[in-house]
Structure 1
Amino acid sequence: MTSIGAPRERSPLPRAFWALWVCQLVNRLGSFVQPFLVLYLTQDRHLSAGTAGAVAAAVGAGSVVSQLVGGWLSDRIGRRRTMLIGFLGTAAALILLGSARSLAMIAVAAFVVGLMGDLFRPAVQATVADLLQPRERVRAYGLLFWAINLGFSVSTVSAGVLASIGYNLLFWINAGTSVVAALVIWRMVPETRPVLDEGTSRRALLPVVLRDTTFLLMVLLQIGYATIYFQGYSTLPLAMAADGLPSSTYGLVIALNGVVIVVVQPFVNRRLATLDRPKLLAGSMLIVGVGFGVGAAVDSWWGYGLSVVVWTVGEIGFAAVIGAVFADLAPVDLRGGYMGLAGSMSFGLGSVIGPLLGTITLEHAGPTTVWLACAALGLILFTAQLSLAPSLHARATTSTSPQPTSP
């Protein structure tokens, strides 16, 4: 099952793309603060667990808004400027958060960290779509996904060591890596926002999106996928604890997710770029659902480890192709907005709906029901995604891919 226009040979990716790859890697290598934020607030700032959780939620609230704003800005003021604002703004917000003393200032700084922290994401995705022809995008998005996970895998280990020296060090190093990422963008990434014809104004995003049935259905399917995916970070640790497994075992099991991605992704990325995108998405969603469904039949560390490995395989396929699919759907003049809306609506809502539904179902119906529901939802998403394949193929055929332009 080969996609339309699949490449026979790999062509070199442009220098600007590799600069974006380095930015993703550096940014994730320094992502120290968010995983340790609650510990910092309770141990260093002596806040209660509930208050620390509320502050962490403020970061999440900022992240949901961030991609919407980032997508809008990348279409209005340019991709490059949006990324610079995001990285430099993140650095400033992290320093503010690390030095804040009052609860009000901590909460405000936390929201700004979330707001600035994801501002660059839709701009990066739009830049990749601007730079590359459709047949190269799956490969490129897959490489970015690998860089993110490689950096995060290293940062989670090193952050624990640095935190033992002092939490303030986490804030300064995290801010420093954001500045480094901004410098890379400034020196190596040109503005790629397509220039509209003279006398043509940019359209408003919302009226176009509301008429785009295919895009809205894709967002809905991605919310379903995210609902399954976030069980790994909400319901899974609770289910493992109920089976008598310690939290340290959960840490080791969930670490398999990053290990499998870092090891497997480079070897399969080229092959994934040749597959039919809607079918790959459908199969990946089904594998993720089945992977979580394995939890219904296991109660040991190795059983849960097998579950994580299976759904991680699905995650690799999904992450490699989803950006390319949305790039095909996005109109040229609204590419950033489409990417931002897809990210904030899909994973933003999924990160709320998934943990809520999963934990409520776990409490009232037990873990077996949760895992079987995940498998059933994966099958539903598989069927729905296949039914959208003709529409997605048509959009991919008619989509345009303008050459990068200078500001």
Structure 2
Amino acid sequence: MSSAAAVESPAPALPRAFWALWVCQLVNRLGSFVQPFLVLYLTQDRLLSAGTAGAVAAAVGAGSVASQLVGGWLADRVGRRVTMLLCFFGTAGALILLGSARSMATIWAAAFLVGLLGDLFRPAVQATVADLLQPGERVRAYGLLFWAINLGFSISTVSAGVLASIGYGLLFWLNAGTSVIAGLVIWMMVPESRPALDEGTSRRPLLPVALRDTVFLLMILLQIGYATIYFQGYSTLPLAMADDGLPSSTYGLVIALNGVVIVLVQPFLGKRLARFDRPKLLAASMLVVGLGFGIGAVVHDWWGYGLSVVVWTIGEIGFAAVIGAVFADLAPVDLRGGYMGMSGMAFGIGTVVGPLAGTNSLEFFGPTATWIGCALLGVVIFIGQFALAPALHARAAANAATA
């Protein structure tokens, strides 16, 4: 092999519109001040009970789950750009409404709107990336978006605590302001990318197509399984660490490793992950996450739990980089937004199933069985995802041939 051939070729430059989306993700997450402090605001400033405040936070979550399907439908029917503009400008208004609401009816409505409008962006941006980039470039692009989200959120969670000490109202206004800025970036720099239909054809309805797509439905089930494992990190893990006599401050430091590893490692892994077979990389990433949580079965100290977090975070980086690319390969071109939305909704279902399953398992079976269960579920979804690889390759080839 010649020395010239041995030199790694540089990755192709990503288009300007993609970097505008990257800036939007970063700005939007930099301003994510309200969500981490919503329950504290409601209990301390609005004097609601803890149960009521939790229910209001759940209303935000319900809106977020619904937004995946709505956002995907809008992205296909109305357009990616319009959906993203509605997300950012609408979220700004909903945040101001929530921060100024006095009646419970208004608080409930505003909370649901914050969740509904705030996550319309997700399926639209994933579909836009698929529209703008060739399949070989998508893993790197989705990985960079994931990095922007975590970089921005890591900064916002620290700064939000300082800002909250000044006044909770400031959090709502600043969060709304960054949402408007993100919307302006879309307005000025991101054109509509929705593929045009052939003359004389109309857009197919999403659900009749998706519900007959066996490969897609199996992917949805596997993603719910993955999310069920993943959300143990934010529900079962702090309880298990408390059972081992570790204070909540130690959990805070351990879970902070997740963001640190993502911010430091993802930029170096992104381009390299693009070299691997996408469905098989997805399967391997799911397995690493499951086994990472499984480490909890044999550790009882902060460093052991820290090792667990580092391992499953590596798997999370691989999953986040490749999942959008796999669904982009799987989706019919005219239903990309809808398929991305249903994928996001599956992950949202996992946010409900995961904490319920994990905390109940911890209570009735103990931590060792719970973490072993996570590892076993990781093995099951690895096998399922790996078995789907040939079908996913065939679908990707068929979609590429008709694009």
Amino acid at match of 1:133: Q
SS at match of 2:400: coil
Equivalence for 1:303: 304
Matches of residues 232-381 of structure 1 in structure 2 within 5 Å? Answer: 232-344=233-345, 346-381=346-381
Q: TM-score, normalised by structure 2?
A: 0.97
Encode CA deviations 1:144-164: one digit per residue, 9 max, x unaligned: 000000001000100011001
Instruction: Indicate whether 1:165 and 2:180 are aligned.
Output: no
Distance in 2, matches of 1:319 and 1:402, equals 27
SS at match of 2:12: coil
Q: TM-score, normalised by structure 1?
A: 0.96
Distance in 2, matches of 1:375 and 1:397, equals 33
Instruction: Indicate whether 1:189 and 2:174 are aligned.
Output: no
Equivalence for 1:398: 398
- Residue 65 of structure 1 contacts residue 115 of structure 1 at CA under 8 Å; is this kept in 2? yes
Equivalence for 2:389: 389
Q: Percent identity?
A: 80
Equivalence for 1:92: 93
Distance in 2, matches of 1:165 and 1:302, equals 35
Distance in 2, matches of 1:118 and 1:337, equals 14
Q: Which runs of 5+ in 1 are unaligned?
A: 1-6
- Residue 9 (structure 1) shift: 4.2
Amino acid at match of 1:130: D
- Residue 284 of structure 1 contacts residue 314 of structure 1 at CA under 8 Å; is this kept in 2? yes
Structural RMSD (CA): 1.2
Amino acid at match of 2:175: N
Amino acid at match of 2:88: F
- Residue 214 of structure 1 contacts residue 392 of structure 1 at CA under 8 Å; is this kept in 2? yes
- Residue 132 of structure 1 contacts residue 401 of structure 1 at CA under 8 Å; is this kept in 2? no
Amino acid at match of 1:52: A
Equivalence for 2:176: 175
- Residue 291 of structure 1 contacts residue 311 of structure 1 at CA under 8 Å; is this kept in 2? yes
- Residue 386 (structure 1) shift: 0.9
Distance in 2, matches of 1:168 and 1:400, equals 49
- Residue 129 of structure 1 contacts residue 401 of structure 1 at CA under 8 Å; is this kept in 2? no
Runs of 4+ in structure 1 off by over 4 angstroms are none
Amino acid at match of 2:34: V
Equivalence for 2:157: 156
Distance in 2, matches of 1:26 and 1:299, equals 38
SS at match of 1:58: helix
Distance in 1, matches of 2:164 and 2:373, equals 39
Distance in 2, matches of 1:45 and 1:185, equals 34
Number of aligned residue pairs: 396
- Residue 247 (structure 1) shift: 1.0
- Residue 400 (structure 1) shift: 2.9
Amino acid at match of 2:292: G
- Residue 318 (structure 1) shift: 0.6
Amino acid at match of 1:274: R
Amino acid at match of 1:376: L
SS at match of 1:400: helix
Encode CA deviations 1:53-85: one digit per residue, 9 max, x unaligned: 000000000000011100000111100000000
- Residue 133 of structure 1 contacts residue 401 of structure 1 at CA under 8 Å; is this kept in 2? no
- Residue 66 of structure 1 contacts residue 115 of structure 1 at CA under 8 Å; is this kept in 2? yes
